[in-house]
Amino acid sequence: MLSIKDTLKRKMIDSLSLKTHLILLGIPMLLLLVCWESLLNISAPLNLIVTVCIYLIGYGLSHYFHQRRLNRLWNHLQQVIHLNNTTFELVNTANQYQDESEFLNALLSKAVNGVKAAEMGSIIRVVPDSDALYFESTIGIDIEKLRKIKFNLRQSFEYRFSKGSCDRVVLINNMASINGHSTLTPEDQEALLTAPRAPIQSTLSSPIHIDGKLYGMLNLDSSKMDAFSHYDRNLAAVLTHEAANAIALYQKSRQIYQLANFDSLTQLYNRQHFESAKTEWQIDNAQGSYLVILDLDNLKAINDNTGHQAGDKALKRLAAALKQQWHLKHLVARYGGDEFIALCHGPLSQIEDELNQIQQALATQYSLEKAAGKQAIEVKFSFGIASYSHKWSQCFKAADDNMYQQKRRKQQQSLAS
Taking only the tens place, the pLDDT of each residue in 136-173 is 999 999 999 999 998 999 988 889 888 889 999 998 88
Q: What was the pLDDT predicted at 399? A: 96
Host H or E run for residue 402: helix 392-416
Rounded to whole angstroms, how far apart are CA atoms 116 and 227? 10
Q: Which distant-in-sequence residues (6+ apart) come within 8 Å of 308 by Cβ?
A: none
pTM score, whole prediction: 0.66
pLDDT-based confidence at residue 2 (cuts at 50, 70, 90): very low
Host H or E run for residue 398: helix 392-416
Backbone torsions φ then ψ of 412, nearest 5 degrees: -65, -40
State the number of CA atoms in the 13 A half-sphere of 403 facing the CB. Answer: 25
Give, in words, the CATH class of 271-416. Answer: alpha beta
Cα 309 to chain centroid distance, Å, stands at 34
CATH 3.30.450.40 applies to domain 2-255: yes
pLDDT-based confidence at residue 240 (cuts at 50, 70, 90): confident
Domain definitions of the chain by residue range: 2-255, 271-416
Question: What percentage of the chain carries pLDDT values higher than 90?
Answer: 40
